[in-house]
């Protein structure tokens, strides 16, 4: 699988963007472009889903195809494989990186999650949260827990974080059933997850119903966030910056911009962002005044030659 992954990255060399500030470790494939380009080509066949951004303008993306994790320099487009996936049964979906280089990865239908050291590529921790039907979709890091969503089960999974954010072992995993106003329906349910602006609760979007919920992390009680009638159907990745919530609406090729109150109980839709470069974006991460979104291209049949890319747009 390593040879296959390296060949895929070599194939993107002529489509990448130019050399500038290097990432640590061996890099693969770049071409000339201006700093912080609006589009960064990914390896053909990669099938991206999650994105998170760490230090030195480095984004990390996971593959739905085989679980590979790559690092991408947002200024130069230079890319490197940091962790080889375990194959198609163990995809990499939602991602979050902490300030010590630990990457938390949601594992989709495998029912698993894992934590990777981005410096070494080593898997620090792995967890089995659930068995089928399950779809571990996204993750958010709080002061005490890493919380994972399950799109097929009305519950969240929390990994207790110790001193310095160190993830606990299997005995430190909790299952938090969703109750209150939560409604589990057919199709994909809990998807993107984030913290409220005051960091006292969680925000979870239901992709099918289009409802945004505020979840008490102690009890699992979910309350609908009053958005003044706005719907978030096809809601996928969430990002909170200050009191602004960005909601990626994947199949609609849009990003809803919502102004929240501090507690996350109310909000109003203030803008909708889009780009002609979008092709089913799934998740979003911020760097400076920019938002970066991988295009999963779910409406395009995936092959080993299908092209994928990251789109940069201005953050409003």
Residues 235 and 212 sit within 8 Å (Cβ to Cβ) = yes
CA distance 257 to 276: 18
Please report, for residues 226, 245, 314, the alpha-carbon distance to residue 269 in angstroms, rounded to integers and kept in the order given.
Answer: 11, 9, 17
Whole-number Å distance between alpha carbons of 137 and 54: 20
The structure tokens listed for 234 are 């096809």
Alpha-carbon dihedral 107, 112, 116, 121, rounded to 10 degrees: -70
Task: Over range 18-45, report the average pLDDT.
Answer: 64
Q: How many CA atoms lie within 13 A of 2 on its CB side?
A: 3
Query: Strand 179-180 and strand 221-224: pairing?
Result: parallel
* 226-254: pLDDT as tens digits: 999 999 999 999 999 999 999 999 999 99
Query: Residue 33: is its pLDDT beyond 60?
Result: no
- pLDDT higher than threshold 70 for residue 51: yes
Nearest residue to 157 via CA among 142, 177, 141: 177
- What local confidence, expressed as pLDDT, does residue 316 receive? 76
Backbone torsions φ then ψ of 236, nearest 5 degrees: -125, -115
Percentage of residues in the chain having pLDDT higher than 70:
89
Residue 20: which pLDDT band, with cuts at 50, 70 and 90? very low
Mean pLDDT over each residue of the chain, to the nearest integer: 92
How confident is residue 35, by pLDDT bands cut at 50, 70 and 90? confident
pLDDT digits (tens, 9 = 90+) for 254-265: 999 999 999 999
Q: Is the pTM of this model over 0.85?
A: yes
pLDDT of residue 8: 56
Q: What is the pLDDT of residue 99?
A: 96
pLDDT of 127 > 60? The answer is yes
What percent of the chain shows pLDDT beyond 90?
Answer: 88
The pLDDT, as a whole number, for residue 6 is 47
Q: What is the pLDDT of residues 194-231, one digit of tens each?
A: 999 999 999 999 999 999 999 999 999 999 999 999 99
Cα dist from 261 to 104, 197, 200, 242, 308, whole Å: 28, 7, 12, 10, 36
Tens digits of residue pLDDT in 290-310: 999 999 999 999 999 999 999
Beta carbons of 61 and 70 less than 8 angstroms apart: yes
What is the distance between the alpha carbons of residues 186 and 309, in angstroms, rounded to a whole number? 31
- Other C-beta atoms within 10 Å of 237: how many? 30
Question: Can you tell me whether residue 14 is helix, strand or coil?
Answer: helix
pLDDT digits (tens, 9 = 90+) for 153-200: 999 999 999 999 999 999 999 999 999 999 999 999 999 999 999 999
- Read off the pLDDT band of 34 (50, 70, 90): low
């Amino acid at each position: 699988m390593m040879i296959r992954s390296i060949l895929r990255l070599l194939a993107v060399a002529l489509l990448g963007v130019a050399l500038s500030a290097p990432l640590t470790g061996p890099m693969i494939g770049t071409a000339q472009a201006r700093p912080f380009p609006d589009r960064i080509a990914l390896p053909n066949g990669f099938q991206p889903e999650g994105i998170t951004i760490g230090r030195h303008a480095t984004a990390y993306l996971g593959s739905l195809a085989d679980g590979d994790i790559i690092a991408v320099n947002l200024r130069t487009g230079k890319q490197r494989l940091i962790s080889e996936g375990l194959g198609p049964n163990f995809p990499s979906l939602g991602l979050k990186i902490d300030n010590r280089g630990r990457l938390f990865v949601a594992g989709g239908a495998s029912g698993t999650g894992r934590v990777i050291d981005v410096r070494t590529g080593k898997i620090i921790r792995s967890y089995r949260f659930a068995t089928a039907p399950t779809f571990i979709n996204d993750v958010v890091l709080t002061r005490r827990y890493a919380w994972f969503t399950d799109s097929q089960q009305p519950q969240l999974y929390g990994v207790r974080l110790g001193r310095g954010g160190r993830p606990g072992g299997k005995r430190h995993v909790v299952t938090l059933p969703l109750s209150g106003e939560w409604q589990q329906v057919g199709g994909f349910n809990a998807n993107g997850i984030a913290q409220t602006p005051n960091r006292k609760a969680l925000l979870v979007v239901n992709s099918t119903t289009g409802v945004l919920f505020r979840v008490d992390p102690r009890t699992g009680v979910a309350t609908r966030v009053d958005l003044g009638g706005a719907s978030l159907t096809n809601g996928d990745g969430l990002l909170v910056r200050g009191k602004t919530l960005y909601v990626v609406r994947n199949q609609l090729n849009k990003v809803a911009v919502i102004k929240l109150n501090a507690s996350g109980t109310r909000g109003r839709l203030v803008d909708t962002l889009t780009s002609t470069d979008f092709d089913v974006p799934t998740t979003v991460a911020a760097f400076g005044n920019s938002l970066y979104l991988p295009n999963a291209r779910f409406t395009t049949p995936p092959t080993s030659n299908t092209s994928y890319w990251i789109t940069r747009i201005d953050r409003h």
